[in-house]
């Protein structure tokens, strides 16, 4: 009996900390959650397929996706559908979606209802997709690194939507542009391909940001 | 007294002493042999040692096993305490999150680095709650929760953002480059 007690004590002490805390989530855990979502099968399948592409490509991290899908799973079916549609649209749009999912988790951490969280997510998603479209149409003049271009696109779309959310008005294009430029300068210091960031920074004009905002708001209204 | 008479007296005297000591010397050889043998049995030869190690008694086997397990456990725990990523006494790397809240009962930080799950801060008696979190270079959004209250504006933040009507702080963690 004493030997058994000693063995159990040592097992607990020697067990890795990560195992004691439950460990990290993997893509399979996320897909399992998606499979059990109370939404239409076609949406489940499309989301799962998009996640299978995005996670290995570094466009979504399993830990954040797991938390987001867990949050969505606990919502009523209509809201769960909305949450999963937002994720699917971001993934299929080729975006880096961690920040989008984290925005929802932040709203949940503030104990906010989903309709409020979902409204902000829709606006964010619209700006990110608009930024991707507008920046994607530019001739940047350098050989771009795809992942850095995605990061730069995320920063521009996010900064513009930050400005709209804080000013509660999409009319201050100069303010949006200035905020986006600051974020790009920050990104430049950490991005693997600073030349790509420089190219986006050079192309960042009031006109470009105005087009992003107009496209985003038109998309949101549709 | 002549020498002849003296010699005779000496011989008689010695004969009497031998006769008196005979009882004491009886069994002396056996006693000495037994004592020497008992001393030698307390110091086993190398053969005896080898026999003991190659065929240890059951009690010794258990003691050796427990000793090895304890040595491994102590080594492992020491490695976790003082090795990289261990639960060391003073972290020297990572990003420090701190908030002064002397009256607070619980303080945590939530951020995108933890998928907005709370990470508890610790007050070591000064009223300043701290946590050090290893973060790779990047942009991190976070807020403190002090006794359940959202505290979004950290004085040392690089910038603030506001969505959902509440502020959150942003910290940029630089890389080596």
The pLDDT of residue A107 is 97
d(CA A222, CA A66): 29
d(CA A21, CA A41): 33
Contact A67 B117 (CB under 8 A): yes
Contact A14 B76 (CB under 8 A): yes
What average pLDDT score do residues A188-192 get? 87
User: Tens of pLDDT along B106-122?
Assistant: 999 999 999 999 999 99
Contact B112 A102 (CB under 8 A): yes
The pLDDT of residue B120 is 97
Which pair of tokens denotes residue A84?
Answer: 């999963």
Per CB-CB distance under 8 Å, the chain A contacts of B162 are 165-166
Average pLDDT value for chain A: 90
Higher per-residue pLDDT: B133 or B35:
B133
The pLDDT of residue A2 is 59
Contact A63 B115 (CB under 8 A): yes
Measure Cα distances from A203 to A21, A138, A141, B139 in Å. Answer: 46, 8, 10, 23
Rounded to the nearest angstrom, the gap between the alpha carbon of residue A156 and the centroid of all alpha carbons in its chain is 14
CATH code at B92-173:
2.60.40.10
Q: Considering only the beta carbons, identify the residue of B77, B116, B177 that sits closest to A106.
A: B116
Per CB-CB distance under 8 Å, the chain A contacts of B141 are 102, 106
Global pTM reads 0.71
**ipTM for the predicted complex:** 0.83
Which pair of tokens denotes residue A18?
Answer: 């990560």
Higher per-residue pLDDT: B63 or A166:
A166
Place of tokens 């005896």: B48
User: Tens of pLDDT along A108-141?
Assistant: 999 999 999 999 999 999 999 999 999 999 989 8
Task: Name the minimum distance, in Å, from the CA of A166 to any CA of chain B.
Answer: 6
Interface check for B87 against chain A (CB to CB < 8 A): the answer is yes
What percent of chain A is predicted at pLDDT more than 90?
Answer: 79
Cα angle value A208/A209/A210 (rounded, 5°) = 90
Cα angle value B104/B169/B137 (rounded, 5°) = 115
Q: Which of A14-23, A53-62, A108-117, A206-215 has the lowest mean pLDDT?
A: A14-23
Interface check for B135 against chain A (CB to CB < 8 A): the answer is no
Task: Say whether pLDDT at B105 is over 70.
Answer: yes
Report domain extents, chain B.
3-41, 52-87, 92-173
User: Tens of pLDDT along B21-61?
Assistant: 666 556 656 665 666 555 555 555 556 656 665 666 666 66
Higher per-residue pLDDT: A11 or B14:
B14
What angle separates helix A114-136 from helix A146-167, to the nearest 10 degrees?
A: 130
Contact B161 A186 (CB under 8 A): no
Task: Name the minimum distance, in Å, from the CA of B116 to any CA of chain A.
Answer: 6
Per CB-CB distance under 8 Å, the chain A contacts of B174 are 189-190
Task: Say whether pLDDT at A158 is over 60.
Answer: yes
The pLDDT of residue A22 is 45
pLDDT band (50, 70, 90) for residue A16: very low
Q: Do the beta carbons of residue A97 and residue A68 sit within 8 Å?
A: no
């Amino acid at each position: 009996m004493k030997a058994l007690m000693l063995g159990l004590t040592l097992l607990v002490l020697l067990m890795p900390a990560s195992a004691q805390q439950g460990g990290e989530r993997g893509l399979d855990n996320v897909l399992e959650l998606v499979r059990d979502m109370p939404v239409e099968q076609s949406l489940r399948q499309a989301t799962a397929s998009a996640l299978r592409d995005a996670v290995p490509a570094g466009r979504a991290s399993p830990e954040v996706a797991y938390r987001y899908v867990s949050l969505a799973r606990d919502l009523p079916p209509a809201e769960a559908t909305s949450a999963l549609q937002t994720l699917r649209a971001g993934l299929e749009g080729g975006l880096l979606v961690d920040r989008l999912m984290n925005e929802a988790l932040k709203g949940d951490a503030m104990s906010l209802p989903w309709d409020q969280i979902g409204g902000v997510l829709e606006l964010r998603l619209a700006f990110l997709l608009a930024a991707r479209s507008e920046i994607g149409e530019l001739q940047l003049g350098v050989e771009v690194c795809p992942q850095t271009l995605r990061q730069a696109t995320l920063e521009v779309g996010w900064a513009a939507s930050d400005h709209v959310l804080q000013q509660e008005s999409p009319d201050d294009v100069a303010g949006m542009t200035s905020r986006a430029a600051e974020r790009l300068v920050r990104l430049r210091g950490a991005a693997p391909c600073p030349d790509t960031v420089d190219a986006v920074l050079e192309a960042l004009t009031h006109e470009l940001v105005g087009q992003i905002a107009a496209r985003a708001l038109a998309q949101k209204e549709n | 007294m002549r020498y002849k008479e003296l010699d005779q007296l000496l011989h008689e005297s010695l004969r009497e002493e031998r006769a008196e000591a005979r009882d004491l010397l009886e069994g002396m050889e056996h006693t000495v042999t037994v004592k020497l043998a008992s001393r030698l049995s307390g110091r086993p030869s190398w053969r005896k040692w080898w026999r003991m190690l190659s065929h240890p008694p059951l009690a010794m086997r258990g003691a050796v096993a427990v000793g090895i397990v304890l040595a491994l456990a102590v080594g492992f725990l020491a490695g976790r305490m003082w090795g990289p990523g261990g639960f060391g006494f003073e972290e020297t790397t990572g990003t420090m999150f701190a908030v002064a809240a002397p009256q607070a009962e619980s303080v945590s930080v939530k951020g995108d680095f933890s998928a907005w799950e709370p990470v508890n801060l610790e007050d070591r008696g000064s009223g300043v709650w701290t946590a050090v979190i290893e973060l790779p270079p990047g942009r991190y959004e976070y807020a403190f929760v002090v006794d359940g209250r959202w505290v979004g504006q950290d004085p040392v933040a690089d910038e603030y953002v506001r969505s959902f009507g509440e502020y959150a702080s942003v910290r940029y963690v630089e890389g080596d480059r």
